[in-house]
Amino acid sequence: MKLNKIILQVIVHVAAWLCFLMLPFVLFSRPRDGAFIPEQFFSTYFVLTNLLYISFYYLNSYLLIPKLLAKQKVITYSFIIISFFIFFGMFPRMYRHLSDHLHYMPPNPWLSNRPRNWSPPLLSGGSIAIFLLVFVISTGVKVVSQWFISEQKNKEIENEKLSTELSFLKSQINPHFLFNTLNNIYALAEARSEKTGPAVMKLSSIMRYILTESKNDVVPLEKEIEFTSNYIEMQKMRLTNKSKVDFVINGDPIGKKISPLLFLPFVENAFKYGVSTREESPICIQLNIGNDNLNFKVKNNKHLSSLLKPAETTGIGIGNIKRRLELLYHNRYKLNLNDDHNTYTVNLNISL
């Protein structure tokens, strides 16, 4: 599919340039007894100038605009464009002086017919007009193309975000999750435990976050930490004394924002595959917050009992979170998943 798209683009570009090269033949009159294609169309000057125009088109489209204009380097970009403007304006005169073996400039079909003793001015109006035409077309096509790509990416992010919310909602608001959680809370209530009230509040907080905060593009980092902490505390209610969970936060989250539900898949997998009722099951979760970046680590043991279980749906799985990271933090994140024989480690770095 991708190869077909590339071939189609090549065909379109070739056809466009053929139309461009034929414009002089269509716009300017020919002698009635002249050849079907005038000789000047095969002259060195005609070939060279059009190669320069074509080269400038792709240089502007694929190098200058992405590397300079798109990165707000307007002054540098303007200086380069003005330099090209002057170069193309002076090119006819430069070509005449460099072509010592020619007595006159070969006819340029882009320009009106001139007598052979005509000497090009310092700046050729015809060459400048063609340059401006190529510049406007290349810039316009690239800007419109980038706009469509940006719109498509935004739409893809929206769709991915919606899919993530729905998947997570289905994952968490299901009979197993609610049944187990409510059973645990009921057991606490029967024992008249002081933990009953906090457990209900944590469940309420989790549901509220899923239904409200997760709809936003970004959320305050402290809210994402609070949600993750509540989720961990809820999961710890069903653990035995074989399991030990540490959630360590280093740094100040105030004032920082992050995409919602970003840490959860890794935490969820740690509880799913790293908990055993017979073996020691330490789970270490650490969040290190810097000035403009954060590092999130999860490490858990792997147990034979969990590896033998049939695969279950885990809501927003690792594949989903990789896709979200690529869309939301393109070139601003690093994700390392280390799957050893006995342990599974997640190391996520994000530039905020």
| End-of-domain residue from the set 121, 151, 181 | 151
Instruction: Reduce the DSSP state of residue 291 to 3 states and report it.
Output: coil
| End-of-domain residue from the set 116, 151, 186 | 151
18 and 101 part of one domain = yes
Instruction: Give residue 223's pLDDT.
Output: 92
75 and 178 part of one domain = no
147 and 254 part of one domain = no
Tell me which of 4-8, 127-131, 281-285 is least confident. 4-8
16 and 143 part of one domain = yes
117 and 204 part of one domain = no
Instruction: Give residue 177's pLDDT.
Output: 57
Q: What are the Cα distances from residue 125, in Å, to 40, 73, 119, 182, 286? A: 19, 29, 13, 81, 66
Q: How many domains does the chain have?
A: 2
**Where does the pLDDT of residue 312 fall: very low under 50, low under 70, confident under 90, or very high at 90 and above?**
very low
13 and 109 part of one domain = yes
Residue 157 lies in a domain: no
Residue 193 lies in a domain: yes
229 and 120 part of one domain = no
Instruction: Give residue 265's pLDDT.
Output: 82
Contact status, residue 316 vs residue 294, Cβ threshold 8 Å = no
222 and 345 part of one domain = yes
| End-of-domain residue from the set 151, 185, 217 | 151
What token pair was written down for 260? 């919602």
**Residue 298 to residue 276: CA distance in whole angstroms:** 17
Residue 29 lies in a domain: yes
Residue type, 58: Y
Residue 292 lies in a domain: yes
Rounded to the nearest 10 degrees, what angle do helices 125-172 and 318-328 cross at?
150
Q: pTM of the predicted model, to two decimals?
A: 0.52
289 and 320 part of one domain = yes
Residue 161 lies in a domain: no
189 and 271 part of one domain = yes
Residue 315 lies in a domain: yes
The CATH number covering residue 340 comes to: 3.30.565.10
Residue 43 lies in a domain: yes
Q: For 161-172, write each residue's pLDDT tens digit.
A: 666 665 654 455
Range of the domain at 42: 2-151
Contact status, residue 324 vs residue 164, Cβ threshold 8 Å = yes
Q: Has residue 347 got a pLDDT over 60?
A: yes
> 87-113 in b/e burial notation, b at 16+ Cβ within 10 A?
ebbbbbbebbeeeeeeeebbbbbbbee
Q: For 51-101, write each residue's pLDDT tens digit.
A: 888 888 889 888 888 888 878 888 998 899 899 888 888 887 777 777 655
Residue 229 lies in a domain: yes
**Residue 293 to residue 256: CA distance in whole angstroms:** 9
21 and 136 part of one domain = yes
What token pair was written down for 146? 């980038």
98 and 237 part of one domain = no
